[in-house]
Structure 1
Amino acid sequence: MTSNAGAPLLERQGDELEDENCLDDHHEQAPRNDTRHTGRLGVFVWLLTLSAGISGLLFGYDTGVISATLVSIGTSLSNRELTSLDKSIITSSTSLFALIASPLSSVLADRIGRKPIIVAADALFVFGALIQALSISVPVMVLGRSIVGLAIGAASFVTPLYLAELAPAAHRGTVVTMNAVSITFGQVVAYIVGWLFAEYGSATTGWRLMVGVGAAPAVLQCILLFIMPETPRWLVKANRSEEARTVIQKTCGTDPIALQMVNNVLRDIEVEVREEEESTGLHNGDGKANNSFLAGWRELILVPKNRRALTIACMLQGFQQLCGFNSLMYFSATIFLMLGFTVPTLTSLSVASTNFIFTVAALLLIDRIGRRGILLYSVPFMAFGLLATAFGFIMADLSTIDAHGPALTKSAAIFILANIIIYVASYAIGLGNVPWMQSELFPLNVRSMGSGLATATNWGANFIVGLTFLPLMDAIGASWTFTLYGIVCIIGWVAIWRIYPETVGISLEDVSGLLEHGWGVR
């Protein structure tokens, strides 16, 4: 089910959508009704997308590689085997510090720009990777993972924001989804590297290479940042409109029609910035901007449309984690070992590969089906996969008292794997990437704060799920644990249907208008 609430807005914004979709190979004006489907992304925007996507690759790699690292360390840290508490602290410290970094990055991104936050995240990735690789004790390893957590928290917030503010409206979903593709690709690489080093590497140095190799992509991105511009929207907000014009022109071209498009896009951004400043009183009497931190938070919480945007963004980010996906990614090898698979790490690779393949599918569908539509179609399949997995665990439990137990256990294991694949595929095509479109819901003056708080919600829920998954398995059993996650999916689907409007094809300057007088769904 998709919403038609944006139809009048789309008609009114027809010309502006053509202006923003300024990357056509030719510059003939398309019919107004086809504007959101015309044109292709230019080479410059693709280069920016791929360069910024390295942050996603680092995000995925560093969250995925720890699984193989923990089982390969042996007695290399503190001259003893790791305890369960050691492993829990090493793993959860990353999520905890990502939670801390997200809101802090949102404040800094408004003050100093989006690009410097990416630079800082790269420096933290390099520093954290080197500390991990040189660790000789558990506390030092925790320090390295905590620094990487700061980097992941900053990158997971700023990269989707950076891409959303640079992308043309008609292709914004595709561009932002590229970051999700990079994250899932990084997880696949982490699983492969972890398996190779665990099977064929040195017992004492293999795990150090696993974590240390994460520094290389960060160094590459630091080099590429020399050609990556700041976003036009931040530049206008910082009273640097001519620089913003230059950035927009690089994505649009230099012929007369393209120059007119540049003027229109720049005008729309300037109008939004001026209106937001006037409506929120962020100027003093002398005309100078008053960028009060408290004033920004009041604007985010007290203005109804901003509060609705924050509710939707935090709901989606929390739902993305509370459905249990990352607990599956963290502990899939444990689950498959319990089910009797002889090489659980390779079985886990099938989960990561499915996640990557269907995230690529989302890349092709997100701007065709829409954000709301793709969630309403995919979440029911997530719920089905989880509930069927719960039923599979009941089959596995019953097999232990059956005369033909081993055969039934094998059938149950294959059944569980198949339904986990269904769940992961459905997650990847919808919920795995749509929440990261959060920045498009907020007007420019609260975009960083709102996105940072929503990202912090994601990491907070991630921390909770990672901390409770194994205790839940022990306390209520695997079948009830997956049933609980399935119920969360059903509740989430109802919430999406009620309050999440469709935003596909609408410029960033106009999306917040959908939430002006309600949720914008009807």
Structure 2
Amino acid sequence: MNDAAAEPLIANDRVFPSDARDRYDDDEEEIEEDVVDESALVSPGLFIWCLTICAGISGLLFGYDTGVISSTLISINTDLSSRPLTTLDKSLITSCTSFFALLASPLTGILADTYGRKTVILFADILFVLGALWQAWTSSVGGMITGRSIVGAAVGSASFVVPLYISELAPSPFRGRMVVVSSLFITGGQVVAYIVGWLFSDRLHGWRWMVGLGALPAALQFVMLFFLPETPRYLIKAGQRQQAKTVLGRVYRSDEGGRKLVTAVLKRVEREIEEEVDAAGLRGTMGVAKSGWRARVEKVKDNAAQLIVVGGNRRALIIACMLQGFQQLCGFNSLMYFSATIFRLVGFQSPTLTSLSIAITNFLFTLVAFHYIDRIGRRRILLWSVPIMIMGLALCAIAFAFVDLPAEEASATPIVAGNKIWPLVILLAMVTYVAGYAIGMGNVPWQQSELFPLSVRSLGSAVATATNWGSNTLIGITFLPMMNIFTPVGTFALYAGVCVFAWITIWRIYPETAGLSLEDVGGLLKAGYGVDDSVRSFKQRRRDSGR
């Protein structure tokens, strides 16, 4: 080992001894190469399932709190500020959630690096409980906006940290499916929100129960998290190697092969930390770790610089932000927010129940994504599913051309040219579009954590999530004006065009990451986007595994 390597390593305000990469406990078997071969694993194991389901409760809260507002606004009547809600009131109550999610994502990304992934989930649970109870007890529009803003901060925190937590714990052959479980909870939460809204819609002050019930899952998860571990990769980064080894021992088998995997993962992560310290030029700085808020500010600045300046990190950020941006700019949440309005405009007698078909379709086809995302790969599932979205949007635009919508939502029944088949075609088109979305675009962008190396994983994931919420806010603000300016035909045709552009971009720059360890993905992006090499290696891994 050279002289530079003999000096201590300093990263994340922790001191790593010079022999950190080569130090092993007496009960660990020395291995020649730090190759992490997890292909022999046949199932995630009970421990990973328990962790994923517990963390996924945040997804349930995410889906519930973003879905329940539709029924809430209809049921409030004059309960807030002793007057009916105005259009401005409804817009502020709805949009403040996504706006505060946008603000919270990058801030909690910094907290996740400093205090751990599990700590941020606990923090989000406190906000979920506080926001739900605040909404349930408030008697003013301003109080409702405050409660929805608190929930927005919780949603923004949970939406990035839960996929990060799961991806850093799950074995690579099942990482995609485990992250999709959190999306299943989101879509399931939206279905539950529609059902709860329907059950309480006719009760006096039923809307208070709608929003207040969101506190129960958050309180349950808060208690459960005290029995769950921090991620091993964060523990290693924080200098807690023995704790990381204990967690990894529960992730993998207890036989000899499992112990070798634990040793290999420990060695790979420690090597990655050492390489990151070398790249950042921090080796041996004063021989001690800095502390205090000034040091933390400098660390955040350094991580932000690494995210942009280092080529592999920058390419990971471009891919992650691209996917998260397209996930929203394709117009999906315009359906989640305004599907009942659309179905009322085109003549359905029960628009709320009709819109439930959108949420159920989203949930059912997320199950399809769960089954296939690790089997056929992230890249291919997107390239196959985005054309389904394009067909659905194109058919929707065509169908709207035969429906003459009323000038005002509450006015006359729409005039349908020919016969009443076109509203059903619009419903079929939207279901087709949502099915394609749920299979690919609704889930793959949340695999973002696997793109980033450990040093910038939290910050990079947070920035990508902020891109999602920024695009979400843009769609929520512009959908109804676009329907008026461009007509429904032009609006849905524009969304179809965005999907075409998304498909081309995915084909050109998104590599296949399924089956790779988190440390291997970083190497894939060091010299370029690595699309061709990643596709070839994925096919080889599938042949080797007999799939």
TM value normalised by structure 2: 0.87
Alignment CA distance shift 1:39-1:225 (3 Å): same
Q: Which residue of 2 aligns with 1:61?
A: 64
Structure 1 residue identity aligned to 2:338:
F
How much has 1:285 moved relative to structure 2?
2.0
**What is the percentage of aligned positions where both structures have the same residue?**
57
User: Is 1:445 aligned to residue 455 of structure 2?
Assistant: yes
Q: Which residue of 2 aligns with 1:423?
A: 433
Counterpart CA distance in 2 for 1:84 and 1:218 is 31
Structure 1 residues 219-240: Cα deviation after superposition (integer angstroms, max 9, x where no partner): 0101110111000000000000
Q: Which residue of 2 aligns with 1:466?
A: 476
Counterpart CA distance in 2 for 1:289 and 1:67 is 50
1:411 to 421, 426, 432: 421
Q: Which residue of 2 aligns with 1:9?
A: none
Q: Which residue of 1 aligns with 2:35?
A: 16
- The 5 Å alignment of 1:266-305 reads 266-289=266-289, 292-305=299-312
Q: Is the 8 A contact 2:170 2:251 kept in 1?
A: no
How much has 1:289 moved relative to structure 2?
4.5
Q: Is the 8 A contact 2:168 2:232 kept in 1?
A: yes
Structure 2 residue identity aligned to 1:16:
V
Q: Which residue of 1 aligns with 2:250?
A: 250
Q: Which residue of 1 aligns with 2:9?
A: none
User: Is 1:492 aligned to residue 495 of structure 2?
Assistant: no
Q: Is the 8 A contact 1:252 1:261 kept in 2?
A: yes
Alignment CA distance shift 1:325-1:398 (3 Å): closer
Two-structure CA RMSD over aligned residues (Å):
1.8
Q: Which residue of 2 aligns with 1:346?
A: 353
Structure 2 residue identity aligned to 1:305:
G
- The 5 Å alignment of 1:204-223 reads 205-223=205-223
Structure 1 residue identity aligned to 2:246:
T
Q: Is the 8 A contact 1:395 1:409 kept in 2?
A: no
Counterpart CA distance in 1 for 2:81 and 2:285 is 61
Q: Which residue of 2 aligns with 1:515?
A: 525
Structure 1 residues 144-163: Cα deviation after superposition (integer angstroms, max 9, x where no partner): 00000000000001000000
Counterpart CA distance in 1 for 2:525 and 2:118 is 29
Q: Is the 8 A contact 1:282 1:289 kept in 2?
A: no
User: Is 1:317 aligned to residue 324 of structure 2?
Assistant: yes
3-state SS, counterpart of residue 386 of structure 1: helix
How much has 1:308 moved relative to structure 2?
0.6
Structure 1 residues 89-125: Cα deviation after superposition (integer angstroms, max 9, x where no partner): 0000000000000000110100000000000000000
Alignment CA distance shift 1:138-1:284 (3 Å): farther
User: Is 1:502 aligned to residue 512 of structure 2?
Assistant: yes
Q: Which residue of 2 aligns with 1:163?
A: 166
How much has 1:250 moved relative to structure 2?
1.1
How much has 1:284 moved relative to structure 2?
4.7
Q: Which residue of 2 aligns with 1:5?
A: none
Counterpart CA distance in 2 for 1:59 and 1:154 is 10
Structure 2 residue identity aligned to 1:157:
F
Counterpart CA distance in 2 for 1:87 and 1:422 is 29
Structure 1 residue identity aligned to 2:67:
G
- The 5 Å alignment of 1:188-227 reads 188-198=191-201, 201-203=202-204, 205-227=205-227
1:333 to 340, 353, 361: 340
How much has 1:253 moved relative to structure 2?
3.5
User: Is 1:377 aligned to residue 387 of structure 2?
Assistant: no
Alignment CA distance shift 1:130-1:177 (3 Å): same
User: Is 1:98 aligned to residue 101 of structure 2?
Assistant: yes
How much has 1:211 moved relative to structure 2?
0.3
3-state SS, counterpart of residue 374 of structure 2: helix
Counterpart CA distance in 2 for 1:315 and 1:492 is 8
Counterpart CA distance in 2 for 1:398 and 1:213 is 37
How much has 1:167 moved relative to structure 2?
0.6
How much has 1:269 moved relative to structure 2?
1.2
Unaligned runs of 5+ residues in structure 2 are 1-31, 291-295, 408-413, 533-547
How much has 1:140 moved relative to structure 2?
0.1
How much has 1:409 moved relative to structure 2?
5.2
Structure 1 residues 256-279: Cα deviation after superposition (integer angstroms, max 9, x where no partner): 332222111111111111111121
3-state SS, counterpart of residue 434 of structure 2: helix
Counterpart CA distance in 2 for 1:498 and 1:14 is 33
Runs of 4+ that moved beyond 6 A: none
Counterpart CA distance in 2 for 1:288 and 1:377 is 52
Structure 2 residue identity aligned to 1:386:
L
3-state SS, counterpart of residue 16 of structure 1: coil
Moved more, 287-296 or 503-512: 287-296
Q: Is the 8 A contact 1:92 1:463 kept in 2?
A: yes
3-state SS, counterpart of residue 268 of structure 1: helix
Q: Which residue of 1 aligns with 2:135?
A: 132
Counterpart CA distance in 2 for 1:326 and 1:461 is 10
How many residue pairs were aligned? Answer: 488
User: Is 1:122 aligned to residue 132 of structure 2?
Assistant: no
User: Is 1:111 aligned to residue 114 of structure 2?
Assistant: yes
Q: Is the 8 A contact 2:78 2:85 kept in 1?
A: yes
